Structure 1
């Protein structure tokens, strides 16, 4: 069976750069009004979100299972002049997790075709424990396949916001600030035009 590390290393080694280097738009929308502090970027990939946060004054820990992705993220941070504000850590989040607490814990599209999906709920519950008092947990995930994908490659369950909230097992110390479905126009990897719906949860620890 392919491990998460093997899958994602192969994924990143297929090309010199996978992602645009720009931050996820829904992170920008939700974090732009937050006061910079400490942030944890779960599944940071090639570092677009972490670099954007650092440019706004956050001190960031970025974590990913792929060593190749982390090397590219570090180079991106150096080019952007924010290398001193970001620490990179390699974790298979189903097996290990960064230590400490953070003012912002961001999980952007924490989906995986191998290993992690079965562990996603446990990973997000660990993320809950990493949020400092007064801090925010931001979870953004796909609600389904994009419209141009008429024959999806596999049967995948995309959790609803209600399912994610239930799995987090939050108590009355938490306040849901944003629970939303966002329908956006997107361009696919081969230039396809279409739409995709994503889930957004922004939850604050009182």
Structure 2
């Protein structure tokens, strides 16, 4: 059985750069107008979101299971002239300490994920939100036609809320499905839907 760290270290080691370096559009849509504070970026990968947040004045801790990805995130931040902190965690086993004004979990999907892991990670993510802070969860609604992972279960926002079991000290800010065009490996284009959920902790 391949561990999450083994899978993602191999994934990032195959190329010098995997992602564009740009922030996820769902996070930009939901966080662009927020007052900067402390932010936790779960599954930060090569740092696109973390660097964008830092450029807007956030104090960012980026977390990933892959040390290769974290090293790239630090280089990305240095190239952009901003500072971020990083920590390596396999989030099913360990989680960063503290509470944050913004906790971002963008596309926490993994082909080596075991049943319930994502749910438990998102529950822990909600516990890391400071009073007055927000949890932003972005996720795919389905796999593109060229993907090998059509048997992967993509949870809806209702699924996420059901597993979070939030109390009356939370309110829902955004519960939405967003459609965008994707370009496949052979240049083909097709629409893909993403889910976005934002909840705010009141106290």
Bin the TM-score by the shorter chain.
over 0.9
TM-score, normalising length: structure 1: 0.95
In 2: Cα distance, 1:39 partner to 1:116 partner:
27
Compute the displacement of 1:21 (Å).
Answer: 0.3
| 2:173 counterpart SS class | strand
Q: Deviations over 1:127-186 (max 9, x none)?
A: 01100000000000000012x43x744411110110100000100000001000111112
Corresponding residue number in structure 1 for 2:98: 100
Question: What pairs up with 1:2-17 in 2 under 5 angstroms?
Answer: 2-17=2-17
Q: Is the 8 A contact 1:141 1:198 kept in 2?
A: yes
SS of the counterpart of 1:99? Answer: coil
Indicate conservation of the 8 Å contact 1:94/1:116, yes or no.
Answer: no
- Per the alignment, in what secondary structure is the counterpart of residue 138 of structure 2? strand
Aligned residues: 202
Q: Cα RMSD over matched residues?
A: 1.2
Aligned to 2:121: 123
Q: Equivalent of 1:185, from 169, 181, 185? A: 181
Instruction: Work out the CA distance in 1 between the residues paired with 2:165 and 2:173.
Output: 16
**Which residue does 1:68 correspond to in 2?**
68
With the length of structure 2 as denominator, give the TM-score of the two structures. 0.96
Question: Helix, strand or coil for the counterpart of 1:95?
Answer: coil
Provide structure 2 residue ranges, at least 5 long, that are not aligned to the other structure: none
Note the C-alpha offset of 1:193. 1.0
Alpha-carbon separation, structure 2, partners of 1:116 and 1:49:
25
Quickly say closer, same or farther: Cα 1:74–1:194, change in 2 above 3 A. same
Shift of 1:203: 0.4
1:36 corresponds in structure 2 to 36
Partner residue of 2:130?
A: 132
On the 8 A contact 1:4/1:116 being kept in 2, the answer is no
